[in-house]
Amino acid sequence: MKDIAERLKAIRERIAQAALRAGRSPKEIKLLAASKTVSVEKIRQAAAAGVQIFGENYVQEAREKIKQLKDLGLTWHLIGHLQKNKAKLAVELFDLIETVDSLSLAEELNRRARARGKIMPILVEVNIGGEKSKAGVAPQDLLKFIGEIAPLANLRVCGLMTIPPFREDPEEVRPYFRQLRELAEELKRAAIPGVEIKDLSMGMSHDFEVAIEEGATIVRLGTAIFGPRPPRT
C-alpha cells in the first residue's frame, strides 16, 4: 500500500493537471486533509509531507488532536456541522469554520468571537442539491442570508462551501460545482460591505478534479490521502 507521502505526491500532480486544464495556476488550490477518525500519527505524517491545512468534523475530537499537534503550527478548519452549544469551543480551536448555515449560529459565533477578541473567518455552507439530509443554506436564500450576517462585526465571510449529492461519475457532479461558482460570482457583483468571497470549498476524494475545473480553491480530501477510514467509536 502506498504511504501517505506517495499518495500526496500523486494528488498534487492531479491537482496541478486539473488546474492547468482550467487555465488556472495550481497555486490557487489549497489542499485540506480531512482528518476525521485519523490518528495523530498519520496527521503528523501528512504534515511532514507538506500538508498545512487539516479539517475536522467534530469539535470534541478536534480538541484532543489540536492539543497534541500544537508544536506543528497547523491550520485547522471545521468542516462538519456545528451545533450552537459548541460555538465557544469552535471559535477557540479553529482558524476557519466552513459550515455556517443559520443566522442563530452566526450570531452565537459572533458573540463568542467578540468575547475572545477575535475576528472569526467563516464560509457559508450551501445545500446546493436541496437534500433534506444535508445542512446548508438554500441557493435561493443565499444572498439574503449573507446580507443578514455581513453586519456581524466579529465574523468575516470569505467564501462558500458545499457537499453536493454523491454520484459515482464525477462528471454528474459538475453542474453543482458550477452552480456554487455562479453563486459566488453573483455575491461578488452584489458587493455586500464586509464580504469578500475568496474561497470555494468544494470537491472531495472522488471528484476534486472536476471541482477544481469549476473553480474550487479548497479541496477536502480524506480517503485519497489516508486510505479507508476506520469506524468512528
Q: What is the pLDDT of residue 75?
A: 98
Element (H, E) at 158: strand 155-162
Q: What is the pLDDT along the chain (233 residues), one digit of tens a residue?
A: 469 999 999 999 999 999 999 999 999 999 999 999 999 999 999 999 999 999 999 999 999 999 999 999 999 999 999 999 999 999 999 999 999 999 999 999 999 999 999 999 999 999 998 888 888 999 999 999 999 999 999 999 999 999 999 898 999 999 999 999 999 999 999 999 989 999 999 999 999 999 999 999 999 999 999 998 766 55
What is this structure's pTM?
Answer: 0.95
Q: Which of 228, 232, 231, 178 is nearest to 203 (CA)?
A: 178
- Compute how many other C-beta atoms are within 10 angstroms of the C-beta atom of residue 130: 11
Q: Which residue's entry shows cell 484532543?
A: 64
The dihedrals phi and psi of 9, each to the nearest 5 degrees, come to: -60, -45
**Torsional sign, CA 214, 225, 126, 128:** positive
Q: What is the pLDDT of residue 193?
A: 93
DSSP tag of 52: -
Q: Which of 30, 154, 159 is nearest to 91 (CA)?
A: 154
